[in-house]
Amino acid sequence: MKLTGAEILWESLRREGVEVVFGYPGGANLPIYDALPKFPIRHVLVRHEQGAAHMADGYARASGKVGVAMATSGPGATNLVTGIATAMMDSSPTVFITGQVVSKFIGYDAFQETDVTGITLPITKHNYLVTDVRELGHVVREAFYIARTGRPGPVLIDITKDAQQNSTNWEYDDSPIQLPGYRPDLSPSEKDFQTAVELIQSAERPIILAGRGVLLSSAMNELKEFAERTNTPVAMTLLGLSGFPSSHPLYLGMMGMHGEAWVNHAIQNADLLLAFGMRFDDRVTGNLKTYAPNARKIHLDIDPSETNKNVKVDVALIGNLRDTLRQLLPRIQPCEHSDWLSFIDSLKGESAVRDIQNMPDNGKLHAPHVIFDIWRLTNGKALVVTDVGQNQMWTAQYYHQDIPGYFISSGGLGTMGFGLPAAIGAKFARPEAEVWVVCGDGGFQMTQAELATIAQEGIKINIAIINNGYLGMVRQWQEFFYDSRYTATPMRSPDFVKIAEAHGLTGLRVTKRDEVEEAVQRARQSKETVLIDFRVEKEDSVYPMVPAGADLHQMIRRPLPNPVLENMENDI
């Protein structure tokens, strides 16, 4: 069958199960767009290519499938870069397809020519420059295979315009992909299993550190079975949230820089850390020299490059997490750690007193109250996407997750502007879900143009803007570490309600806590997208906080209110 390169591309995407593509047309990818109407794939026209990248990422995280974004050459391709890096840092299976100038013009500074494969080499699992139409079909199959296997991640395909336009006789090839040197199916040795079992059975104060690998490998049931059999508490990384139900008795909460205080103290007192699909990021460990000083460490991960990279471990079990746990579980005998769990429970008391959720609001609107009320009113069943900053940490702390995959956030890169477009992608992945995106006023403005995409596509999401008039997390650092010199962090924003209305959407404003419930319920009942501008306290901070480079247990805590302090002193 004779097809053009553009037709081969779309047919290959269809064969890979692609149902939706996020993109923006331009001169160098016009042949691709011209062929699109022949194929049953929905195209979502974004307002900025960065939005397309985050939508593909959000789609991948919410669906477990490969997300796809497209852009033209030059500025179109470079506008994808932040989203590609975000997907790389967070192991999100994505394929990015860019147009490139005609082959004979490459290297001559042609109009809108950019070496996008060179630019993205450090932030992709692999990338391709296709100049020959005969290579295109096989390249697409390889790209999807690489993106979804092993440790998932982004792959970029750059296709010259002549490769899109030229024709060739082509038949789809479904033979197994063979990539010399690429081994996505590693498995632990018997000796490593034996060492791990000995450490697990002898531990008295173990903790499971569960990361995004739990979700990527669909190891939620295996994690739960392991925790219950060994009676081991489970702490979560930011991107691991929703991988273990927060309502479970063994659930501890989030660890790290803005994790729960009792979680960080427990880690520092543990004698065994079981790292499941996490990479010991610096925001998790604090000062490496004092991190869990008395703990042996077992690391289960699919990527051998992550073991012993940041934290030296006693044994590494390299392979797909679910498969590894399935092999490990039959070797494990039930354990009892009641004294250890009681000790951890004793750590929670003071934290409960310091929790703003348990303090009177005094008529003020605090961000944690907003997030908690959204959780309460949605019964914890919404798919929640966050932007980056204080809004992200408050959502991680106060929107408790029981449904796997229903918490989506930019972790490793910490990309402001991620939230709104990622939520759009998530909605396309799960149209039946109630989707909420929580943004700060700063991050929202970076990609607010995608409101037009929402309006054009007619999709329904709910948008909660935590509007404190600052670049909140940066302001917090300035308050704590720079003598409250708020340089370049006060932020004037447009009227977000009018911005929503300008796009034909509904906008609401909330300034008091007793207004939250009505606004949230109105948003939930509406059939169209609703934006709520929550005007919260301007100088509230996220607590606890581990200062950069500090020991994990050296947290800045929320000050206790004076009456509580007096009562505690009297008790003493």
* Placement of tokens 């995608």 in the chain: 450
Closest CA to 56 of 421, 392, 438, 460: 421
Active-site residue among 473, 476, 478, 545? 473
d(CA 536, CA 477): 18
Active-site residue among 38, 104, 111, 480? 111
- Phi and psi at residue 316, to the nearest 5°: -115, 130
d(CA 25, CA 9): 15
Residues in the chain: 572
d(CA 207, CA 546): 20
Is residue 112 flagged as an active site residue? Answer: yes
Is residue 49 flagged as an active site residue? Answer: yes
Alpha helices for 458-510 (secondary structure H): 472-481, 496-502
d(CA 543, CA 557): 6
List the beta strands (DSSP E) in 441-505: 462-467
Is residue 297 flagged as an active site residue? Answer: no
229: left (phi over 0), alpha (psi -120 to 50) or beta: alpha
Question: Are 14 and 172 contacting, i.e. CB atoms less than 8 angstroms apart?
Answer: no
Alpha helices for 71-132 (secondary structure H): 75-78, 81-89, 116-120
d(CA 570, CA 572): 5
- Tokens encoding 230: 């060994």
d(CA 302, CA 91): 11
- Tokens encoding 149: 């296997």
* Placement of tokens 């999807």 in the chain: 144
d(CA 466, CA 197): 46
DSSP state of 257: T
Active-site residue among 7, 89, 113, 161? 161
- List the Cα angle 223/229/234 in 5-degree steps: 45
Q: Which residues pair with 48 in a beta bridge?
A: none
Closest CA to 343 of 244, 229, 206: 206
Active-site residue among 19, 39, 105, 112? 112
- List the Cα angle 23/145/415 in 5-degree steps: 45
Question: Are 34 and 402 contacting, i.e. CB atoms less than 8 angstroms apart?
Answer: no
d(CA 375, CA 379): 6
Is residue 171 flagged as an active site residue? Answer: no
d(CA 52, CA 26): 14
* Placement of tokens 């404003």 in the chain: 509
Is residue 473 flagged as an active site residue? Answer: yes
Active-site residue among 7, 11, 16, 49? 49
Q: Which residues are known to be catalytic?
A: 49, 111-112, 161, 473
